[in-house]
Structure 1
């Protein structure tokens, strides 16, 4: 770590501070609800699938029942995800789908991330 610090010139330090400032400005605009890794995974999976069952999402994302439940509930409370419960015979089935609001939120999130990436590349 010391070598990396010594290798920085004043110009490099200035660029890093500038990029960090742009990153902070862009990050402040990010939807923190979607930005969390598990919720981003849920929303992204639902963006490319019309709907997914609880078990499909759990397997795809490698989550526990409790972890998926907590994150899906937060997305549902925000209006980003619809949750439909039914039965297949005697077995309960939970099906998730992305709402229009969730799709718009994901699109805005992706736009903000693209702006952040562009700010870094432009430096």
Structure 2
């Protein structure tokens, strides 16, 4: 396996967050929460881990009405996510490697 496996991204909710954000420019926190089907506190925890790793940006644009929180992948976040996906694909595409647990039929 040549691509690095990223433990920060690999957690299921963080992987889903990165996958969703990779397909968008920016997403409102509430939309992301609904897509994942988790509580605000759960999403906040995972977003904070990704933010501390430099993988996501958080913005709270001010304007009329209630301030909403927006989440987006950084350039480093996009690169890390795509490398992680490549590492996962390499695991599935490399039969016969030491980590292959398939039994002969």
Q: Same-fold call, TM > 0.5? A: yes
Counterpart position of 1:71: 46
TM-score normalised to the size of structure 2?
0.83
What are the ranges of 5 or more consecutive residues in structure 1 without an aligned counterpart? 1-25
Q: Are 1:104 and 2:71 counterparts?
A: no
Where has structure 1 moved over 6 Å in runs of 4 or more? none
Q: Which structure carries more helix by proportion?
A: 1
Give 1:29-44 correspondences, 5 Å limit. 29-44=4-19
Residues 62-88 of structure 1 show CA distances to partners (whole Å, capped at 9, x for unaligned) of 010000000001101111000001345
Which protein has the bigger strand share?
1
User: 1:4-83 to 2 correspondence within 5 Å?
Assistant: 29-83=4-58
Whose Rg is larger? 1
- Structure 2, unaligned stretches of length 5 or more? none
The number of equivalent residue pairs is 96
User: TM (normalized to structure 1)?
Assistant: 0.72
